[in-house]
């Protein structure tokens, strides 16, 4: 079973002339304890075209030291990585392969580099003997195993922060090292250095687009969303907070951009891709929508006085949620492991490698993008006017839902255009978000009422009182009515066409 460790460390160049300074002068460090030398043997795996390395991920099988096994590392922030560990085995563990699948797809993982390190370890400890940081001096020999023969040697110093220690300690250690002439490494990892020094990779050719054009701007936005999909895939598998939502948002932003910028990108090419993105968002929604609904119902229950909580209300909600959540989680993982999803990722890569740009893509972004954003604004205005003209009821609920989707698309259009159009686009996106928020809360009340009817029926069938569920249903009806009254005011502030 894989487990996770948050790794906060810094790497430094070391030469024979470097001498470690007295690190007991670092605040919080009272002793430097020699822990001896460990011999480490690590084989790094990647696809033949180094897809993991391109995403700054490392996958290795290492023996020696006190953490022998398989390690998959994800970048989190500068100097911070999450290390997913699995027990030592002869083949890549399935759990780690799954976490890397959004990058590797169906490509085989093969040994690419072997690193042999002689690690001289020192523990930096506090007055009470607690570990503050581990410093190691690594004499490294790198051997290229795939992609061309090659070998490299270097020595580096690595300082890794202990758990629950203030990261400011690393700054203080670095200050002492710099005074001793020891500088930060230019490579983010040993693997990156080994790849660069044993057989420098040649970047894949990419179709160049003139900067400042509408095409260049839209392609940059598309790449950011595709990168987000690939990055959030392993986060979803690890059940990290908000990961399903963020992955779904990236798919929706991408699909929205295809439709908004239909005069820049050929829709005969992007529409089929958009349908696949729509499918993916819907499949992810099985998990995400359940999460949102549970949070809403829980907050409603918590807001009620105890005297109005009749029957095992929380217990019934918990049983209902667990049953639906278990199925939705299993469903989400099946989607991410499926051939259709992997084919979509390949299609997105191919689209970015050879983008279907139309002639208008060559025009200046400031000239083309406003027209696309204004078109989405007009579309939203039509839907809101239609919804407000309907009497309260199911038909209006459906019209409000359609307006919500249009508001989201208009908001995404404004956000996508902001780098090119600046403050006017940013202000437009903010107003569209306010409209979307009102419409979104209204739709959440519609979904919540459907769930409350189900819970009330289940409670009644079990011989429990349905009073509380009916009360909550009434609260949701009132909430929806409030949003309907609020919408005209919010839309009045956003209805004016933006001045780009």
Share of the chain above pLDDT 90, in %: 84
CB-based contacts of 418-426 (< 8 A; 24+ apart in sequence): 419/217, 419/220, 419/221, 420/217, 420/365, 420/366, 420/369, 421/365, 421/366, 421/369, 421/370, 421/373, 421/500, 424/498, 424/499, 424/500, 425/369, 425/373, 425/498, 425/500
Ranges 192-206, 234-248, 479-493: which has the least confidence: 192-206
Is the sign of the CA dihedral 361, 380, 412, 231 positive or negative? Answer: negative
pLDDT-derived band at 150, boundaries 50, 70, 90: confident
Taking 90 as the threshold, does the pLDDT of residue 433 lie above it?
A: yes
Domain-located, residue 334: yes
Query: For the domain that residue 55 is a member of, what is the CATH number?
Result: 2.40.320.10
Domain-located, residue 499: no
346 within 8 A of 105, measured Cβ to Cβ: yes
Distances (CA, A) of 397 to 42, 314, 378, 446, 450: 59, 28, 21, 7, 13
Taking 80 as the threshold, does the pLDDT of residue 287 lie above it?
A: no
264 within 8 A of 361, measured Cβ to Cβ: yes
Residue 46, strand partner residues: 110
Q: What is the pLDDT of residues 108-132, one digit of tens each?
A: 999 999 999 999 999 999 999 999 9
> What is d(CA 317, CA 294) in angstroms, rounded to the nearest whole number?
8
Q: What is the pLDDT of residues 310-356, one digit of tens each?
A: 999 999 999 888 877 767 778 889 999 999 999 999 999 999 999 99
Treating both helix axes as pointing N-terminal to C-terminal, what angle do 267-303 and 423-461 enclose, rounded to 10 degrees?
A: 60
Ranges 60-69, 143-152, 462-471, 478-487: which has the least confidence: 143-152
Q: What is the pLDDT of residues 403-432, one digit of tens each?
A: 999 999 999 999 999 999 999 999 999 999
Domain-located, residue 205: no
Q: What pLDDT, on the 0 to 100 scale, is given for residue 201?
A: 55
Taking 50 as the threshold, does the pLDDT of residue 393 lie above it?
A: yes
Q: What is the pLDDT of residues 156-211, one digit of tens each?
A: 999 999 999 999 999 999 999 999 999 999 888 999 999 989 876 555 555 567 78
Residue 13, strand partner residues: 156
Taking 90 as the threshold, does the pLDDT of residue 371 lie above it?
A: yes
Taking 80 as the threshold, does the pLDDT of residue 484 lie above it?
A: yes
**377 and 248, same structural domain?**
yes
**48 and 130, same structural domain?**
yes
Share of the chain above pLDDT 70, in %: 97
**302 and 449, same structural domain?**
yes
- Looking at the structure of the chain, the number of domains it has is 2
Residue 359: strand, helix, or coil: helix
Residue 160: strand, helix, or coil: strand
Burial class (CB in 10 A: 0-12, 13-18, 19+), 291: middle
**436 and 291, same structural domain?**
yes
> What is d(CA 5, CA 163) in angstroms, rounded to the nearest whole number?
9
**147 and 271, same structural domain?**
no
Query: For the domain that residue 388 is a member of, what is the CATH number?
Result: 1.40.20.10
Q: What pLDDT, on the 0 to 100 scale, is given for residue 351?
A: 96
Q: What pLDDT, on the 0 to 100 scale, is given for residue 445?
A: 96
Distances (CA, A) of 52 to 66, 97, 416, 434, 444: 25, 11, 28, 39, 39
**259 and 219, same structural domain?**
yes
Burial class (CB in 10 A: 0-12, 13-18, 19+), 91: exposed
Helix (H) or strand (E) holding 60: strand 58-63
> What is d(CA 90, CA 69) in angstroms, rounded to the nearest whole number?
10
> What is d(CA 209, CA 351) in angstroms, rounded to the nearest whole number?
14
**429 and 303, same structural domain?**
yes
**304 and 185, same structural domain?**
no
Domain-located, residue 206: no
Half-sphere exposure (Cβ direction) of 278: Cα atoms closer than 13 Å: 11
| Residues sharing a CB contact under 8 Å with residue 142, sequence separation 6 or more, in sequence order | 113, 114, 115, 151, 152, 153, 190, 193, 194, 197, 198
Domain-located, residue 203: no
> What is d(CA 283, CA 335) in angstroms, rounded to the nearest whole number?
7
Cα angle for residues 81, 86, 91 (degrees, 5° grid): 115
Average pLDDT (135-162) is 91
> What is the distance in angstroms between the CA of the first residue and the CA of the last residue of the chain?
54
Domain-located, residue 207: no
Q: What is the DSSP string of 241-286?
A: TTHHHHHHHHHHHHHHHHHHTTTTB-HHHHHHHHHHHHHHHHHHHH
**482 and 333, same structural domain?**
yes
Which of 172, 198, 224 is where one domain is finished?
198
Q: What pLDDT, on the 0 to 100 scale, is given for residue 1?
A: 46
Say what the pTM is.
Answer: 0.86
Domain-located, residue 404: yes
Ranges 1-15, 294-308, 474-488: which has the least confidence: 1-15
19 within 8 A of 180, measured Cβ to Cβ: yes
**20 and 141, same structural domain?**
yes
**255 and 167, same structural domain?**
no
Which of 135, 170, 198 is where one domain is finished?
198
**85 and 29, same structural domain?**
yes
Question: How many Cβ atoms sit within 10 Å of the Cβ of residue 82?
Answer: 17
Residue span of the structural domain in which 390 resides:
214-494
112 within 8 A of 145, measured Cβ to Cβ: yes
Average pLDDT (91-105) is 95
Average pLDDT (132-149) is 90
Question: Smallest Cα–Cα separation from 391: which of 481, 477, 476?
Answer: 481
Taking 60 as the threshold, does the pLDDT of residue 278 lie above it?
A: yes
Which of 143, 173, 198 is where one domain is finished?
198
| 200 backbone dihedrals φ, ψ, rounded to 5° | -50, 130
Q: Which comes out higher in pLDDT, residue 324 or 463?
A: 463
Mean residue pLDDT across the chain? 92
Domain-located, residue 208: no
> How far, rounded to the nearest angstrom, does the alpha carbon of residue 337 sit from its chain's CA centroid?
17
Taking 90 as the threshold, does the pLDDT of residue 104 lie above it?
A: yes
Taking 70 as the threshold, does the pLDDT of residue 439 lie above it?
A: yes
Residue 87: strand, helix, or coil: coil
| 91 backbone dihedrals φ, ψ, rounded to 5° | -120, 160
Q: Which comes out higher in pLDDT, residue 327 or 107?
A: 107
252 within 8 A of 408, measured Cβ to Cβ: yes
């Amino acid at each position: 079973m894989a487990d996770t460790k948050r790794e906060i460390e810094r790497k430094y160049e070391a030469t024979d002339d470097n001498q470690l300074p007295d690190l007991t002068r670092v605040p919080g460090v009272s002793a430097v304890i020699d822990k001896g030398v460990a011999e480490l043997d690590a084989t790094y795996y990647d696809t033949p075209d180094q897809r993991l390395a391109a995403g700054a991920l490392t996958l290795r099988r290492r023996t020696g030291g006190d953490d022998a096994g398989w390690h998959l590392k994800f970048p989190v922030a500068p100097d911070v990585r999450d290390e997913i560990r699995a027990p030592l085995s002869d083949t890549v563990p399935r759990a780690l392969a799954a976490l890397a699948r959004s990058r590797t797809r169906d490509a085989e993982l093969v040994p690419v580099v072997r690193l042999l390190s002689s690690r001289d370890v020192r523990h930096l400890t506090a007055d009470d003997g607690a570990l503050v940081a581990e410093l190691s001096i690594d004499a490294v020999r790198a051997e290229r195993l795939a992609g061309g023969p090659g070998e490299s040697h270097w020595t580096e110093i690595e300082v890794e922060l202990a758990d629950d220690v203030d990261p400011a300690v690393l700054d203080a250690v670095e200050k002492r090292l710099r005074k001793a002439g020891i500088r930060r490494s230019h490579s983010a990892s040993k693997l990156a250095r080994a790849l660069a020094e044993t057989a420098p990779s040649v970047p894949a050719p990419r179709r160049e687009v003139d900067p400042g054009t509408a095409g260049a701007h839209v392609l940059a936005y598309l790449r950011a969303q595709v990168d987000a999909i690939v990055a959030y895939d392993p986060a979803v598998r690890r059940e990290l907070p908000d990961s399903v939502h963020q992955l779904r948002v990236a798919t929706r932003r991408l699909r929205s951009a295809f439709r908004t910028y239909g005069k820049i990108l050929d829709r005969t090419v992007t529409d089929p891709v958009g349908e696949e993105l729509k499918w993916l968002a819907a499949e992810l929604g099985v998990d995400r929508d359940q999460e949102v609904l549970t949070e809403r119902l829980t907050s409603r229950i918590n807001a009620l006085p105890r005297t109005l909580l009749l029957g095992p209300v929380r217990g019934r909600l918990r049983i209902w949620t667990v049953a639906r959540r278990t199925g939705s989680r299993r469903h989400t993982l099946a989607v991410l492991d499926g051939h259709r999803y992997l084919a979509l990722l390949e299609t997105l890569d191919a689209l970015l490698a050879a983008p279907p740009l139309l002639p208008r893509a060559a025009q200046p972004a400031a000239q083309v993008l406003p027209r696309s954003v204004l078109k989405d604004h007009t579309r939203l205005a039509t839907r809101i006017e239609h919804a407000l003209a309907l009497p309260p009821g199911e038909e209006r609920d459906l019209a409000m839902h359609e307006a919500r989707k249009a508001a989201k698309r208009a908001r995404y259009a404004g956000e996508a255009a902001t780098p090119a159009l600046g403050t006017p686009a940013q202000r437009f996106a903010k107003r569209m978000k306010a409209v979307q928020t009102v419409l979104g809360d209204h739709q959440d009340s519609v979904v919540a009422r459907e769930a409350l009817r189900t819970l009330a029926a289940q409670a009644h069938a079990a011989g429990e009182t349905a009073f509380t569920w009916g009360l909550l249903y009434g609260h949701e009806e009132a909430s929806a009515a409030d949003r309907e009254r609020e919408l005209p005011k919010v839309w009045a502030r956003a209805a004016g066409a933006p001045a780009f």
